[in-house]
Amino acid sequence: MQDGNKIQGEFIEIERCLAEFIFGLIENISFFKYRSKEANYELLTLFIDEILLRMYQKNSNLHNIKQLIASLLDNKENQQTVDDPFELLKNLKIIESSINNQQEQNVELNIQELIQKTNNLKSSFDNVCILFIFFVFH
């Protein structure tokens, strides 16, 4: 059973890394000047629905952020006066982002950093493979 818990722990780490990678991509895409806030908010809502709410089903703050985004989409003139949903998500501490306000303009650098962070996945995949082999043959 202990091996099963180790395998589960590695899969949770892989899931977290992939979610942070996807969030980083969405956040970077939002910096493109030709993208509308509406398109960015719709993409963020999809990420919350399809990934974060599945990972953190009981987190009411995610539902609150979704409601905020929906109200921003419905009432476009209030978009300037409300907190940024990307920042609100980061403040929940369930998802991390390596992007800070000074880096917003350098999307290429941000993407390169995201790619480097995915190298961390290799060790998790290697660990899962080793644990599976050990689990199956012992």
pLDDT tens digits along 66-101: 999 998 888 766 555 567 898 889 888 888 877 765
Per-residue b/e over 73-106, b at no fewer than 16 CB within 10 Å? eeeeeeeeeeeebbebbbeeebbebebeeeeeee
Those residues with Cβ within 8 angstroms of residue 42's Cβ, 6 or more apart along the chain or in another chain? 73
Question: Residue 29: pLDDT above 80?
Answer: yes
Average pLDDT over residues 15-27: 90
Question: Residue 118: pLDDT above 90?
Answer: no
32-45 residue pLDDT tens = 888 888 999 999 99
Q: Which residue has the tokens 């089903």?
A: 57
Question: Residue 102: pLDDT above 70?
Answer: no
Per cent of the chain over pLDDT 70 is 88
pLDDT of residue 54: 93
